[in-house]
Amino acid sequence: MSHGAIIAAASREVGPSLFFALLIITVSFLPVFALGEESGRLFKPLAFTKTFAMMSGAILAVTVIPVLMLLFISERTVPLTVQWLKRILIILGGIFAPGVLLAFVPLGAAEAYRIALVVAWVIVSGILLIPQRFSNEEKNPLNRFLHWLYEPFFALVMRFRWLTLLASVVLVAATVWPLRQLGSEFMPPLEEGDLLYMPTVDPGISTTKARELLQQTNKLIMQVPEVSTAWGKIGRSDTATDPAPLTMIESTLELNRDKSKWRTVPVSRFYEGWPAWAQRRLTKLLPDRRTITVNELIYGYEWPDGTHIPGLNEIVQIPGLTNAWTMPIRTRIDMLATGIKTPVGIKVMGSDLQTLSEIANRISVVIKTDETTGPFTVSAFPEKTVGGNYLDITINREEIARYGLNVSDVQDVIMSSMGGMNVSFTIEGLERYPINIRYPHELRDNMAALGQTLVATPIGAQVPLEQLASFTVHKGPPMIKSENARLTSWVYVDIANIDVGSFVKNAQSAVDGAVDLPAGYSIVWSGQYEYMQAARARLMIVVPVAGVLIVLLLYLATRSWLRVGIVLIAEPFALIGAVWMLYWLQYNLSLAVWVGMIALAGLAAETGLVMLLYLDTSFERFRDEGRMRNADDLWWAVHDGAVKRIRPKTMTVAAIFTGLLPLLWASGAGADTMRRLAVPMIGGVATSFILELLIYPVLFFLAKRIALRRQFHEYAASHSLREVVA
């Protein structure tokens, strides 16, 4: 058979399966496109990139790749008809001429990758141009090693087929336990490099005291060595988009970018007690100290001897101040979307502010004292809907009439002395500022001083204001909030050492059992929990639709519902590794993890389809050659499709690992999210590959033996008859 015919036959053999495998990976990412708001903006670029790449790969796999194989997969790229000296010059020129060009020409933005590009070109061009010798599969050292490794396990599972299937069912069932241990959150913590300290004080605080609190908290924070700078504000900034009251402090803490200057904690290693020379060498590979985490910086950490090192939350403990720690960007996004600045927020909705305040207070007490939520609650601050102080000045109309005054005359004095009166404007460039005149601070900072404010009468007399009006102070709403045309009061809850989903589940149970809501009042759980619910609602609709499309593509690729079922068995096998690896790394179920699971579904279907392809190909070849006469022939056909084709299947999985494993050691902003994307795929592909090698041959053998039972009986009967006649 000619070189071109061999490549054409190989392309026809694997091309359709690879085409549909890539399409399945593309379809598996459709649920990501249904995500909205923050989650959609975060993951849609990834989904678009992967979709375009897989679609292009599917098309190239059946069009361009076979042509490139015909051109470059040969022992000699430069034909022997060319004189040997010219061949050498062509090979050397093709390898080194572009390499020299890459080494000296300006590369602009790619300048940092110059050496990598030169090395990559030399390697790739050398592989293509230098004459090679293709060894037989049986002589390939790697293939022989894989055969040696896989053969005993294949023989074992094929001997104990039903026991193997039972063990696989037990493995899948056992995965339920670690899955139930995993918490849930909207997104993994994104280390932004800075912290935002947002405590809340009770309404009625004065400007002077607020400024004093801000200075005190920043001085306490600056005592921590990991904090390089702390600056903050209290109250509303000069912008219409920040309606913050005077009770809200915002301090931005810039952390030291050099993690080597952070405090470290001893770590217990296996080489403790070993000789000093061995410990010194192993310490370079596995350090016996680690840098504290941001979470430990905030909430403190334990020394090996049990000593507790206080964190920022314990250092900044001032009476009347309710702490809340978060990230600057994270908080801005949360407050724009839900208004809640803490991970968990509780919105109490109703019609009466006093009732809302009482309900919010009861809820905060339950959250802080319940045994399922209290140990994990850093703070639970109920918003004071009626905690503001209001000064009412009631004018005595009979008294002002005796002095010939109008109500407006007295009100003008009150306004000009307390609030100030704009008398003119100052123009500075294109900006215009009002000039406001009012009494000095010492003449209006208490009710006694305000009572001495003089009111001029028409006859020229000066009458103290306290003779013309009465002063009273009453409580009222410092800020009125409404949502969906209903008044609302919020409870800010900051949590630690627990995931959002588990905390809200426990808190809902505690609040439902301890707080009775009057008629017309309701509770809405907000914050990051609200994002989780919105994303879950979307995925519950779109994921089944994507699943149906994947099943249809599998049927188009295999033309058999039995084969579709066999391929889909790879999905629970993949979940085994994904769930156990998440449990081992103590990761919560988050949207990043679910996106990784969605990608894993496509990868598992791809590896399962490739495995089934080789089993089917070997079976058809054995049958065409007349070697499908009994169960022994079927056993050897399955052996040929599984053991003899182990190398391409291993290469497929190795390529996936090569692309994903570096993400486990990624660092910097966004690394936590990328790790949670990669971990389910790494663990899932590993277990699906191993279990496919062990389970697929068993399932294929049993299914084919049942389908060919009559044929095997007929052959056995005819063979026995010939022996009798003989």
Q: Which of 424, 451, 476 is the last residue of a domain?
A: 476
pLDDT digits (tens, 9 = 90+) for 294-322: 888 888 888 877 788 888 888 888 887 88
509 occurs within a structural domain = no
User: Is residue 625 classed exposed, middle or buried when 0-12, 13-18 and 19+ CB atoms within 10 A define those classes?
Assistant: exposed
Where residue 644 sits, what CATH number does that domain have?
1.20.1640.10
Closest among 639, 644, 632, 707 to 156, alpha carbons compared: 639
Report pLDDT for 724.
46
Q: Are residues 251 and 395 in the same domain?
A: no
524 occurs within a structural domain = no
Structure tokens at 79: 């034909």
Helix (H, G, I), strand (E, B) or coil at 639: helix
Q: Which of 275, 291, 326 is the last residue of a domain?
A: 326
Query: Who wins on pLDDT, 225 or 109?
Result: 225
Burial call 237-252: b when 16+ CB within 10 Å, e when fewer = eeeeeeebbbbbbbbe
Report pLDDT for 275.
79
User: Which residues touch 233 (CB under 8 Å, ≥6 apart)?
Assistant: 214, 249, 250
Report pLDDT for 722.
52
Q: Which of 456, 476, 496 is the last residue of a domain?
A: 476
pLDDT digits (tens, 9 = 90+) for 519-567: 888 888 888 788 778 878 888 888 888 888 888 887 887 777 877 887 7
Burial call 192-212: b when 16+ CB within 10 Å, e when fewer = bebbbbbbbbebbbeeeebee
Report pLDDT for 725.
47
Q: Are residues 147 and 199 in the same domain?
A: no
Q: Are residues 460 and 564 in the same domain?
A: no
610 occurs within a structural domain = yes
Q: Are residues 628 and 716 in the same domain?
A: yes
Q: Are 438 and 384 in contact (CB under 8 A)?
A: no
Where residue 427 sits, what CATH number does that domain have?
3.30.2090.10
Structure tokens at 142: 């790697």
Name the strands in the sheet holding 227-234, side by side, starting at the edge strand that comes first in the sequence: 227-234, 249-255, 194-197, 325-326
Separation in Å, CA 263 to CA 174, 391, 457, 620: 40, 51, 71, 65
597 occurs within a structural domain = yes
Helix (H, G, I), strand (E, B) or coil at 132: coil
Closest among 198, 296, 210 to 252, alpha carbons compared: 198
CB atoms inside a 10 Å sphere around CB 495: 22
481 occurs within a structural domain = no
Q: Are residues 680 and 601 in the same domain?
A: yes
513 occurs within a structural domain = no
CB atoms inside a 10 Å sphere around CB 372: 15
Q: Are residues 571 and 424 in the same domain?
A: no
Q: Is 429 left (phi over 0), alpha (psi -120 to 50) or beta?
A: left
Report pLDDT for 133.
65
Name the residue type at position 616. D
Alpha-helix runs per DSSP H in 472-590:
500-514, 528-558, 561-568, 570-585
pLDDT digits (tens, 9 = 90+) for 107-140: 777 787 788 888 888 888 877 777 766 666 667 7
pLDDT digits (tens, 9 = 90+) for 444-462: 777 888 888 888 888 888 8
DSSP state of 261: G
Q: Are residues 664 and 600 in the same domain?
A: yes
Rounded CA separation 391/388 (Å):
10
Q: Are residues 199 and 154 in the same domain?
A: no
Instruction: Report the share of the chain in percent with pLDDT over 90.
Output: 0
Residue 228 has pLDDT above 80, yes or no: yes
Half-sphere exposure of 498 (CA within 13 A, CB side): 20
Phi, psi of 12 (to 5 degrees): -65, -30
290 occurs within a structural domain = yes
Calculated CA dihedral for residues 114, 120, 124, 127, nearest 10 degrees = 120
Per DSSP, the residues of 265-332 read EE---TTTTS-HHHHHHHHHHS-SEEEPPHHHHHH-EE-TTSPEEP-HHHHS--TTEE--EE-HHHHH
182 occurs within a structural domain = no
Structure tokens at 111: 């300048």
Q: Are 254 and 288 in contact (CB under 8 A)?
A: no
Partnered with residue 76 across adjacent β-strands are: none
Report pLDDT for 59.
80
| Three-state helix/strand/coil letters over 435-500 | EEECCCHHHCCCHHHHHCCEEECCCCCEEEHHHCEEEEEEEECCCCEEECCEEEEEEEEEECCCCH
Residues 347-367: what's their mean pLDDT? 88
Query: Who wins on pLDDT, 176 or 61?
Result: 176
Residues 77-98: what's their mean pLDDT? 78
Report pLDDT for 726.
47
Report pLDDT for 638.
85
Report pLDDT for 29.
76
Secondary-structure breakdown of the chain: helix, strand, coil percentages, each rounded to the nearest 5 = 60, 15, 25
242 band by pLDDT with thresholds 50, 70 and 90: low
Alpha-helix runs per DSSP H in 130-188:
141-159, 161-174, 176-181
Residue 721 has pLDDT above 60, yes or no: no
Which DSSP helix (H) or strand (E) runs through 7?
Answer: helix 3-28
User: Which residues touch 140 (CB under 8 Å, ≥6 apart)?
Assistant: 647
Work out how many domains the chain is built from and give that number. Answer: 3
Residue 323 has pLDDT above 60, yes or no: yes
pLDDT digits (tens, 9 = 90+) for 371-398: 888 888 888 888 877 777 788 888 999 8
33 band by pLDDT with thresholds 50, 70 and 90: confident
Residue 144 belongs to domain spanning: 138-174+560-726
DSSP state of 628: -
Instruction: Report the share of the chain in percent with pLDDT over 70.
Output: 93
Residue 76 has pLDDT above 70, yes or no: no
Residue 578 has pLDDT above 50, yes or no: yes
Q: Are residues 155 and 237 in the same domain?
A: no
DSSP state of 375: G
Report pLDDT for 1.
60
Q: Are residues 201 and 168 in the same domain?
A: no
Q: Are residues 221 and 282 in the same domain?
A: yes
Report pLDDT for 239.
66
Q: Are residues 720 and 593 in the same domain?
A: yes
**Minimum mean pLDDT range among 56-70, 539-553, 569-583:** 56-70
